[in-house]
């Protein structure tokens, strides 16, 4: 329960938010659906960031260290996080479900940069989701650093979109 409150706090959802009744208006139901997508994205993001930090803390990277297992787990969560954003949140906004023009304009402006971060994450996954043992560890530190920069940019962009989605109007 504490984790849910923390995720809601990060996403701007009031900790006291209650499920909507069956007699809710369509607008309230859309907002509830968006809130659920944001909550899922934030949970995936949190899990991804924890594993990212775990990977970064494993230096020096060598075959004797438990690197491959942690990197493999990180890659799986990274892909889940990217998918949660791309196929749930952004798709919901850009496929016509979102009616607010301000949100649509913002999403359309942010999407090319978000797509670039998706490509960086997929490239990292393709390189390091290599099973056990993972022998391509020579560039892992540099690749994690570049990926970290891309993820930081993505998180800032996502937060801008989430804030716009959660505004009333």
**pLDDT attached to residue 123:** 96
* Cα dihedral 21→23→28→31 (10° resolution): 50
Task: Please give the model's pTM, rounded to 2 decimal places.
Answer: 0.76
| Domains defined along the chain, listed by start | 28-166 (1.20.120.1370)
**pLDDT attached to residue 2:** 39
Q: List alpha helices for 57-132, DSSP H.
A: 67-83, 91-92, 101-128
**pLDDT attached to residue 67:** 81
For residue 133, give the 3-state DSSP assignment: coil
Closest Cα partner for 75 from 118, 124, 119? Answer: 124
**pLDDT attached to residue 169:** 59
pLDDT in tens, 77-96: 999 999 988 877 788 787 87
Exposed, middle or buried, 121 (CB in 10 Å: 0-12/13-18/19+)?
Answer: buried
**pLDDT attached to residue 132:** 58
For residues 38 and 122, what is the distance between their CA atoms, to the nearest angstrom? 21
Q: What is the mean pLDDT of each run of 10 residues along the chain (169 residues)?
A: 40 43 49 81 96 87 72 94 85 81 92 95 91 73 96 96 84
- CA 26 vs CA 33, 82, 134, 140: distances in Å: 10, 28, 50, 48
* DSSP for residue 146: H
Asked if residues 63 and 133 have their Cβ atoms less than 8 Å apart, the reply is: yes
131 dihedral zone (left: phi>0; alpha: psi -120 to 50; beta): left
Measured in whole angstroms, the distance separating CA 123 from the mean position of its chain's CA atoms is 16
């Amino acid at each position: 329960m504490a984790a849910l409150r923390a995720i809601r706090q990060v996403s701007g959802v009031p900790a006291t938010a209650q499920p909507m009744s069956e007699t809710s208006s369509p607008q309230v139901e859309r907002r509830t659906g968006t809130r659920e997508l944001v909550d899922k994205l934030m949970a995936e993001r949190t899990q991804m960031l924890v594993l990212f930090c775990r990977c970064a803390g494993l230096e020096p990277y060598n075959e004797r260290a438990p690197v491959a297992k942690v990197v493999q787990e990180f890659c799986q969560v990274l892909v889940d996080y990217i998918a949660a954003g791309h196929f749930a949140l952004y798709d919901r906004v850009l496929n016509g479900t979102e009616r607010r023009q301000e949100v649509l304009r913002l999403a359309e402006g942010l999407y090319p940069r978000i797509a670039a971060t998706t490509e960086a994450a997929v490239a990292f996954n393709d390189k390091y989701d290599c099973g056990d043992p993972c022998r391509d560890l020579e560039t892992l530190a540099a690749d994690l650093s570049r990926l970290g920069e891309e993820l930081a940019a993505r998180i800032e962009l996502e937060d801008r979109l989430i804030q716009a989605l959660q505004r009333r109007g």
